Amino acid sequence: MRVAMIGTGYVGLVSGACFADFGHVVTCIDKDPSKIERLGRGEIPIFEPGLDDLVARNVREGRLFFTLDGAQAIKDADAVFIAVGTPTRRGDGHADLSYVYAAAEEIAGLIEGFTVVVTKSTVPVGTGDEVEAIIKKTNPKAQFAVVSNPEFLREGAAIEDFKRPDRVVVGTEDERAQAVMRELYRPLSLNETPIVFTGRRTSELIKYAANEMADLCEKVGADVQQVARGIGLDKRIGGKFLNAGPGYGGSCFPKDTIALVRTAQQYGAPVKLIETTVAVNDARKKAMAEKVAAVLGTDDLTGKTIGVLGVTFKPNTDDMRDAPSLDILPALLAKGARVQAFDPEGAKEAAHMMPGVSFVAGPYEAAQDADALVIITEWDQFRALDLERLKTLLKAPVVVDLRNVYKPAEMVRAGFTYASIGRGA
C-alpha cells in the first residue's frame, strides 16, 4: 500500500519507518527544509535506538522517501496520516490543533479516489469530526473517511512498541476504511495482535483515558466499555508504570493530561483525579530540589557543588520536553549551588535550556568534587557505578537517588549517606 505521513516528528518518523519496514511504500512530508535535508543525508533528528538503521534500510530498498512537497504522494496514497504536533495552547491549556487542521485543508485539495485520512497525532475527542468537516468544506466531491488511530509509543522502545504492540486501536465505522487499516496492519497478524475497531470518538478518548471516564464518555458520545478494553490491553499499565520518581515528563503525557482536563471541563464532566495528578506532578518536580537541600542539611547551597546523572525525561531518548530536570536543576541553581551534569544523549539540547548548568563528559566527571550526586534519569550505565570510585571523587559520600536505582542497605554498607524516593531515610 502507499502511505503519506504528514509530519516527521517523533510519531511520524517512527511510524513511517515501521510501515515501510512492513513493506508499504511511505513518503514522509514536512515543511521544515533543514529537517528534510538532514533526513535525506541519513541524519536522524531524534535519538531513538535502532531508528537510524531502520530508516537507512528502507530508504536504500526504495520504500521510504522524504519530501517538502507531498502533493503527489498524497494523491497516490491509500492512507494519509496526520502526525503533526499538538502542543498545549498558551492561555487555556487546550491542545493546539492548528497544525492538524492546516494539514486537513491541504489534504482536501489533493486526494484522488477513495482515501483514508488518519489522525495519528494525539487529539482531543471530536477532532476527527472537525477534520472531516474541513475536508468536506474544502472539497465537497472528495471520497474519503477520517479514521482515528492513536499511537502508544514509548520513547526509547518505540520501534518494538510499533512492531509488537499490545493492540492497535482504529476508530471508524466505515467498512472501506476498516479494510484499508486491516491491510496496513496485516503484518502484525503473525503476532496475533488484536485490532480494536471502535467509533471514532471512542478511539480518540482511549488515548487520553484513565479513571473517572464514564461520565465523560456519556457527555461526548463515546463507549466506556470499549475505552476500558482499549486501556486494559496496554501492558504499560502495571508495575513498571508505577515506579517512584521525581515526576513525569515527556512529549505526550504532560500535555495529554492537561488537554484531557480541559476537554472534560468543557463538557461539564470534570476529572478530579487527573486534575489532582497534574497539580501533584508539578509540585513534585519542584520539591525535588528541596529534598536535595534537606539531605545536605541546609537550604542555602551557596558554595555547594551538585553532580547530576541524567537530564532527559526518561532513558534511551534525547527528549527534554517537560523533563523533571528542567524544574530541579534551575531550583538548585537558585539556591546558590553549582550544578555539573552528565546525560548520554540529552546534554546538547539541555545546555540550551539550562545555560547555568555545566555539562561534563561522564558520570564520574559529574561526581568530581561534588557535595552530593543526584540521579534523575535511570540510564543503564548508571545502574552499576563503581561505588568505591564514587566515594573517592565526591567531597562527601552523599547520593540522592530520585529513581531508586540502588538498594538502601547496599549504599549504607558502602559508606554512603543515601536518600531515595518512598523508602524512608
- Per-residue pLDDT of 76-123, as tens digits, reads 999 999 999 887 777 766 778 999 999 999 999 999 999 999 999 878
With b meaning 16 or more CB within 10 Å and e meaning fewer, what string describes 158-174?
bbebbeebebbbbbbeb
Q: At what angle do helices 253-266 and 200-208 cross, to 10 degrees?
A: 120
Confidence of residue 239 (pLDDT cuts 50, 70, 90): very low
**What confidence score (pLDDT) does residue 274 get?**
60
With b meaning 16 or more CB within 10 Å and e meaning fewer, what string describes 96-125?
bbebbbebbebbbebbeeebbbbbbbbbbb
Contact 95, 259 (CB under 8 A): yes
Domain 288-419, CATH class in plain words: alpha beta
Task: For residue 250, give the C-alpha cell.
Answer: 515527556
Per DSSP, 22 falls in state T
| Pairing relationship of beta strands 144-148 and 358-359 according to DSSP bridges | unpaired
Q: Can you give the residue ranges of every domain in the chain?
A: 2-233, 288-419
- The CATH architecture one would assign to domain 2-233 is 3-Layer(aba) Sandwich (3.40)
Provide mean pLDDT across the span 368-391.
Answer: 93
Provide mean pLDDT across the span 176-196.
Answer: 90
**What confidence score (pLDDT) does residue 95 get?**
75
Confidence of residue 351 (pLDDT cuts 50, 70, 90): very high
**What confidence score (pLDDT) does residue 384 get?**
87
In angstroms, rounded to a whole number, what is the distance separating the alpha carbons of residues 322 and 246? 12
**What confidence score (pLDDT) does residue 88 get?**
74
Phi, psi at 100, each rounded to 5°: -65, -45
**What confidence score (pLDDT) does residue 210 get?**
38
Contact 132, 108 (CB under 8 A): no
- Does 252 qualify as catalytic in the annotation? yes
Contact 260, 222 (CB under 8 A): no
**What confidence score (pLDDT) does residue 338 get?**
97
* Sequence-separated (6 or more) residues with CB below 8 Å from residue 301: 293, 332, 335, 336, 337
In angstroms, rounded to a whole number, what is the distance separating the alpha carbons of residues 4 and 24? 10
Count CB neighbours of 141 within 10 A: 5
Task: For residue 135, give the C-alpha cell.
Answer: 475536508
Is the pLDDT assigned to residue 218 strictly greater than 70?
no
204 vs 131 pLDDT, higher one: 131
Provide mean pLDDT across the span 49-63.
Answer: 94
**In the block, residue with C-alpha cell 486526494:** 111
Confidence of residue 193 (pLDDT cuts 50, 70, 90): confident
Would you say the CATH fold of 288-419 matches that of 2-233? yes
Sheet holding 398-401, edge to edge: 358-359, 338-342, 305-309, 372-375, 398-401, 417-419
pLDDT, tens only, 160-184: 999 998 889 999 999 999 999 999 9
Is the pLDDT assigned to residue 206 strictly greater than 90?
no
**In the block, residue with C-alpha cell 466531491:** 141
Average pLDDT, the chain: 85
Is the pLDDT assigned to residue 370 strictly greater than 50?
yes
Beta strands (DSSP E) in 18-101 are: 25-29, 64-67, 79-82
Among 18, 28, 217, 252, the one annotated catalytic: 252
- Measure CA 62 to chain center: 29
| Residue 3: strand, helix, or coil | strand
Following DSSP, what letter does each residue of 86-137 receive, concatenated?
-PBPTTT--B--HHHHHHHHHHHTT--SSEEEEE-S---TTHHHHHHHHHHH
- Could you give the angle at the alpha carbon of 410 between the alpha carbons of 408 and 411, nearest 5°? 65
Is the pLDDT assigned to residue 66 strictly greater than 70?
yes
In angstroms, rounded to a whole number, what is the distance separating the alpha carbons of residues 377 and 335? 22
281 vs 196 pLDDT, higher one: 196
What pTM value is reported for the model?
0.61
Confidence of residue 212 (pLDDT cuts 50, 70, 90): very low
